[in-house]
Amino acid sequence: MKQQVLVIIKPDGLIKSLTGSILMKLSEAKLNIIGAKVVKPSRELAEKHYFHMKSKPFFEEIVQYICGQIHKTPRVLALVYQGENAIKKLRRIAGSTNPEEADPTTIRGAYGRITTKGVYENVLHVSGNLEDAEREIKLWFTPEEIVGDIYPVKEIVKEKTNALDWA
C-alpha cells in the first residue's frame, strides 16, 4: 500500500551536521521524496504536532527541543516520503524512540542520546501511523508544497495578506 510519511530532522540532526548521513540512511528505503523544506517551527506548530503528548511530564521539553531552543538553532528539515509501506520502512531505519534502546545500526541508535534532563534527543521524527501521517503532513505542508495529489484539496480565495518578496 502506497503511503505518505512526514519525516522531520530535528535541530540536533542539523546542528551536528548529520543531515547528509540521515538522508543517505533513509534512502535505503527506496521511497520518493515529494516535499522538503527548512522550517523554523513556531511554538504553536510544535504544540499541535505533539498534541498527543500534552499530558506528559516532558511535554515542555520536547516542544523546546523541536523548536530548537535546546540547540540554539531554530531549524528543522521537514520531508514527505511516499511509497509502498513507507511508514514501516522508515521507522525501522529510524529506530526506537528511546535512543538507548534503539538498534545501534539505526539512525537513533547511532546518533541519538538522552539528555541529563531526560529528554530523548532522537534526531528525527517519523510519523507513527497513517492517521498521524495525514494530520502531520497537513500541519507542516500546504498542498502546493507537495509534488503530486495525496489528499483531497479545495480551492480557496485568500484574503489580501502581507507577504515578503525579493527587493
Would you name the residues annotated as active-site residues?
125
87 close to 129: Cβ distance less than 8 angstroms = yes
* Helices 19-26 and 86-94: angle between axes, nearest 10 degrees: 140
The three cell numbers of residue 136 are 502531520
Q: Answer whether 75's CB lies under 8 Å from 102's CB.
A: no
Q: How far is the CB of 47 from ligand ADP (least distance, A)?
A: 13
d(CA 85, CA 151): 17
Which alpha helices (DSSP H) does the chain contain, by range?
11-15, 19-26, 43-49, 59-67, 86-94, 107-111, 130-140
- Give residue number: closest CB to ligand ADP: 97
Per CB under 6 A, residues contacting ligand ADP are 53, 58, 62, 97, 118-120, 122, 125, 128
Shortest Cβ distance from residue 43 to ligand ADP (Å)? 16
**Closer CB to ligand ADP, 139 or 153, in the complex:** 139
Question: 115 or 147, CB closer to ligand ADP?
Answer: 115
Other beta carbons within 10 angstroms of residue 34's beta carbon come to 18
Nearest distance from residue 74's CB to ligand ADP, in Å? 17
* Dihedral of the alpha carbons of 17, 19, 24, 28, in degrees to the nearest 10: 130
Q: Which is nearer to ligand ADP, 23 or 119 (CB)?
A: 119
Of 58 and 110, CB closest to ligand ADP: 58
Answer for the pair 155, 116: CB distance below 8 angstroms, yes or no.
Answer: no
User: Smallest distance from the beta carbon of 134 to ligand ADP, in angstroms?
Assistant: 15
